[in-house]
Amino acid sequence: MTDFDGKFSEYTAIRPVISKGICLAIAIGNVLCACFSTIIYYLLYLQFVPIAVGVIAVVAGALIVHYFINKKSTKPRREPNRTARLRTLVDPNDKYQLPLIEKEVLSHDTRRFRFGLPSKQHILGLPVGQHIHLIATIDNELVIRPYTPISSDEDVGYVDLVVKVYFKDVHPKFPAGGKMTQYLEQMELGDKISFRGPSGRLQYLGNGTFSIKKLRKDPPKHVTAKFVNMIAGGTGITPMLQLVREVLKRNEKDKTQLALLFANQSEKDILLRDELDELAKKHPDQFKVWYTVDKSTEGWNYSVGFINDEMIGAHLLPANDDTIVLLCGPPPMINFACNPALDKLGYHPDTRFAY
């Protein structure tokens, strides 16, 4: 055993005695302080000067010990971070049962479903660019579908999904309709459904920087762009709106330029158009939106027909090293319309990302 070990052992042995002594001194000091002036007066009056001096010394010592012991506790306490909020999606592999608390009819086949989070202090906890999966057993079959909420982590206590319901016997190619969308349509308030996430290969980090995985298991790669083109079809608008909101929310800090080309079957099918138009009007130097529909009506001032190189060239930002293209929509639209047009205009495949 070293000399240090011996001294440490000695200190350990007498530490309880020291602690008790300090506590006793503090206690005596507190009592004496309470009636200090009276005690000193009578001691001096009775000419017990040495005792009076001793009392003063004890009180002074107790006050000094009390000061140093409580010095740390008198430092201002750090207030808890009041902006920190509880995340719902803690583990991307777990399922979270959330209740339907509100349903709004937006059009003949489009609904806004609002689901409640565990408390009014909870946020969903979904990074921009990511999505969730809804999971349900429908007709004895496990059905899993991806959705991007239109609400954000600025919203507390709920999450909103805008969903186009594919009813049966409406689309000739899909006579049975959409399993998950019809399931959502039939849900009653209070019914629960499983959420899982966050999921996705893209995440927006701010100021034009994206974290992108080419494949799901690949390590993420950071890509920075000054110009972001977005091409969406139908419900593919939801991840685009999520990004647009995030960039424009930071208007003074995030100078990323955004351009959106949005394709739909008809004007009445354009989801969230009012908000898109309002954002474009409010931020004309940073965000532009253009529409195209398969069938137009009188007074339609935008494009008609499938997306092509002329539309992209006229309404999106030009191809260069600082430009990326984000795509979300039906695979045939992306594979047979968008990608050939982008190739023709010189947008490199490495600068494209399809949700």
147 marked ligand binding residue:
yes
Q: Are residues 63 and 170 in the same domain?
A: no
What integer pLDDT is reported at residue 173 of this predicted model?
80
In a domain? residue 78: no
pLDDT score of 70: 54
275 in the same domain as 332: yes
What are the helix and strand counts (H, E) for the chain?
Answer: 9, 17
On whether both 18 and 117 belong to a single domain, the answer is no
Q: What integer pLDDT is reported at residue 74 of this predicted model?
A: 42
Q: Does 99 share its domain with 150?
A: yes
Q: Does the residue 80 lie in any domain?
A: no
Q: Please tell me whether residues 179 and 207 are part of one structural domain.
A: no
Residue 172 has a pLDDT of 85
238 a known binding residue? yes
Q: Is 167 annotated as a binding residue?
A: yes
Of the three residues 39, 69, 99, the one that is the final residue of a domain is 69
Specify the pTM.
0.75
Query: Of 13, 42, 69, which residue sits at a domain end?
Result: 69
Q: Which residues are catalytic?
A: 131, 147-148, 328
Report how many domains make up the chain: 3
pLDDT of res. 80: 40
Is 162 marked as a binding-site residue?
Answer: yes
pLDDT at residue 255 in the model:
94
- Report the distance separating Cα 208 and Cα 247, nearest Å: 8
Is residue 79 one of the residues assigned to a domain? no
Task: Mark whether 338 and 211 lie in a shared domain.
Answer: yes
The annotation status of 249 as a binding-site residue, yes or no, is no
Write down the H helix ranges in the chain: 3-34, 36-45, 49-69, 179-186, 237-249, 273-282, 309-315, 331-333, 339-344
Instruction: Decide if 258 contacts 230 (C-beta within 8 A).
Output: yes
Q: What is the pLDDT of residue 61?
A: 56
What string of pLDDT tens digits covers the 355 residues of the chain? Answer: 444 444 444 444 444 444 554 444 445 455 444 544 554 444 444 455 555 555 455 455 555 545 555 554 444 444 344 346 799 999 999 999 999 999 999 988 999 999 999 999 999 999 999 999 999 999 999 999 999 999 999 999 999 999 999 999 888 888 999 999 999 999 999 999 999 999 999 999 999 999 999 998 999 999 999 999 999 999 999 999 999 999 999 767 899 999 999 999 999 999 999 999 999 999 999 999 999 999 999 999 999 999 999 999 999 999 999 999 999 999 999 999 999 999 999 999 999 999 9
* Domain co-membership, 189 together with 216: no
Q: Is residue 227 part of a domain?
A: yes
Q: Count of CB atoms within 10 A of residue 137's CB?
A: 10
CATH of the domain at 259: 3.40.50.80
Q: Does residue 81 fall inside a structural domain?
A: no
Whether residue 225 sits in one domain with residue 152: no
Co-location of 135 and 218 in the same domain: no
Rounded Cα–Cα distance for residues 228 and 286 (Å): 10
136 vs 69, 102, 115, 142, 340, CA distance in Å? Answer: 60, 19, 15, 6, 37
Do 216 and 279 fall within a single domain? yes
Could you tell me which residues come within 8 angstroms of residue 97 by beta carbon, excluding any fewer than 6 positions away?
192, 193, 194, 195
- Integer Cα distance of 315 and 6 in angstroms: 82
Domain ends where: 199, 234, 256? 199
CATH of the domain at 91: 2.40.30.10
Q: Is 164 annotated as a binding residue?
A: yes
Are 261 and 320 in the same domain? yes
- Is 1 known as a binding-site position? no
Q: How far apart are CA 185 and CA 113, in angstroms?
A: 9
Same domain, 90 and 189: yes
| Inside any domain, residue 52 | yes
What pLDDT shows up at residue 43?
Answer: 44
Q: Which tokens belong to 331?
A: 């695979």
In a domain, 277, yes or no: yes
Q: Which domain holds residue 254?
A: 202-354
In a domain, 126, yes or no: yes
